[in-house]
A and B are shown apart, each in its own frame.
Chain A
């Protein structure tokens, strides 16, 4: 393009739009676009390692979408009183919230070992927790948690099998109040409904529990 004279064939009083502005602008937009598609997780991790994460305490909203949680990373402190409102934002899918360590795997003939149903260690074992405001509960498995129910128990659709797991219908919500137990370290959380596929397609998160 070097042979072109700048500003050819335009009216003399208005200068032509700038080629440099055009190229830099498009380049900048392309870079922003690429980061927005591929780099968000890297950005978040970098920010987290530079600035650290604030400790979450008290009232927390935990939203379930298709197929991810907001937030998907939390820092809790042992002994803090937590008041988690777990809310299913999906219009179409039921979601659960389980916390644990070491995901179980099973053997599938055509695909080998894949994540299957929930955790080898259930975070909620022996943890006292109070449930309230149940709305559109698909089912609830208390497992070995020490649960106190507020309101009529029938609304919780209590059942058995698997880890501690409140499962919400689309639009459902539930309050969980508990004191963070003395189980420091990294814990994973995830949703294993619909044949564990929600977990396998990324519906998971991390809770880091720090000592008081």
Chain B
């Protein structure tokens, strides 16, 4: 009888929880998502959230139940029964099988499905990747340097003379990530691990000295720091005293604005 009432309360609370989660999911729990990979992250996040809510509700309801229903008052010494149950085959069985099944499900979806989807997106031979815009991203202490080899641009800068990344919306970009200091190649200590992170893109990739990492991604929204401050290139792995300021402006713009910007950068480069 106790178990049945418990079960009803648990189900009711889980349903309320799912309803609240639905509202949250409609408002993007990740705050702001502006790339194809970011959308994958969001979907996986939402799925895990939906599955975990009833589990969370079960444990919390059982705690509250204990505190309310099974509590003995201070000073009270109720008679102990001759024997307590030491186990309950059904409860243990359902718990163990249930936890195994939930975890296997997570392994299959979203872990394996989303990860394999991500790997597929990252295949150099994938059709959308063959015509990607190539951007060489060089991380040094403490600066992101962007160059566009297809356009002959060695370092793109904004009006303040700071490095900046600008990309057209809905076109796949191939980010070639390297960590080294092009101006001080004699100093092997200057090269440390950085992490390329754009919060609104939902992805970060560590930049390792001595390795070249490639990341294909498609921005899906026109955005910039002033539009949403999550649109910025930010170093996410601690890399020394300059780590907090290792940030660079990111502009995702329309194709025509991008073309104009490239021309402008070319003019700037030939002047300087």
Please give me the residue from chain B that is nearest to A169 by CB atom: B186
What separation, in Å, do the CA atoms of A200 and B243 have in the docked complex? 12
Any B CB within 8 A of the CB of A106: yes
Q: Is the CB of B187 within 8 A of A92?
A: yes
Any B CB within 8 A of the CB of A24: no
* CB-defined contacts of B160 to chain A, threshold 8 Å: 106-108
- Distance between B184 CB and nearest chain A CB, rounded to angstroms: 6
- Among A10-50, those with CB < 8 Å from B are none
Please give me the residue from chain A that is nearest to B249 by CB atom: A109
What separation, in Å, do the CA atoms of A111 and B225 have in the docked complex? 12
Q: Is the CB of A92 within 8 A of B162?
A: no
A106-B162, A108-B245 given; A197·B142 CB < 8 A? yes
Any B CB within 8 A of the CB of A5: no
Any B CB within 8 A of the CB of A67: yes
* CB-defined contacts of B226 to chain A, threshold 8 Å: 109
12 contacts between A and B (CB under 8 A): A92-B187, A92-B189, A93-B189, A109-B226, A110-B247, A169-B187, A170-B187, A170-B189, A194-B142, A197-B141, A197-B240, A200-B241
* CB-defined contacts of A111 to chain B, threshold 8 Å: 245, 247
If A108-B247, A197-B240 are given as contacts, then 6 extra A-B residue pairs at C-beta distance below 8 Å, sorted by A number, are A93-B187, A109-B226, A109-B249, A169-B186, A195-B242, A197-B142
Any A CB within 8 A of the CB of B194: no
Any B CB within 8 A of the CB of A186: no
Any A CB within 8 A of the CB of B232: yes
Please give me the residue from chain B that is nearest to A138 by CB atom: B184
Selected from B142, B190, B229, B232, the residue in CB contact (under 8 A) with A93 is B190
* CB-defined contacts of A94 to chain B, threshold 8 Å: 184, 187
* CB-defined contacts of A197 to chain B, threshold 8 Å: 141-142, 240-242, 245
Q: Is the CB of B225 within 8 A of A110?
A: yes
- Distance between B122 CB and nearest chain A CB, rounded to angstroms: 29
* CB-defined contacts of B240 to chain A, threshold 8 Å: 197
Any B CB within 8 A of the CB of A160: no
- Distance between B187 CB and nearest chain A CB, rounded to angstroms: 7
Any B CB within 8 A of the CB of A114: yes
What separation, in Å, do the CA atoms of A200 and B241 have in the docked complex? 9
What separation, in Å, do the CA atoms of A104 and B143 have in the docked complex? 18
* CB-defined contacts of B143 to chain A, threshold 8 Å: 195
- Among A120-140, those with CB < 8 Å from B are 138
Q: Is the CB of A67 within 8 A of B189?
A: no
* CB-defined contacts of A201 to chain B, threshold 8 Å: 241-242
Any B CB within 8 A of the CB of A91: yes
- Distance between A23 CB and nearest chain B CB, rounded to angstroms: 39
Q: Is the CB of A67 within 8 A of B247?
A: no
What separation, in Å, do the CA atoms of A110 and B247 have in the docked complex? 8
* CB-defined contacts of B249 to chain A, threshold 8 Å: 109
- Distance between A193 CB and nearest chain B CB, rounded to angstroms: 9
* CB-defined contacts of A67 to chain B, threshold 8 Å: 241
- Distance between A72 CB and nearest chain B CB, rounded to angstroms: 17
Q: Is the CB of A109 within 8 A of B190?
A: no
Selected from B142, B189, B229, the residue in CB contact (under 8 A) with A195 is B142
Please give me the residue from chain B that is nearest to A90 by CB atom: B189
- Distance between A103 CB and nearest chain B CB, rounded to angstroms: 15
What separation, in Å, do the CA atoms of A102 and B154 have in the docked complex? 32
- Among A67-125, those with CB < 8 Å from B are 67, 91-94, 106-111, 114
What separation, in Å, do the CA atoms of A108 and B242 have in the docked complex? 14
Q: Is the CB of B225 within 8 A of A109?
A: yes
* CB-defined contacts of A138 to chain B, threshold 8 Å: 184
- Among B138-168, those with CB < 8 Å from A are 141-143, 160-162
* CB-defined contacts of A108 to chain B, threshold 8 Å: 160, 162, 245, 247
Per-residue contact bits, chain B 189-208, to A (CB 8 Å; 1 contact, 0 not): 11000000000000000000
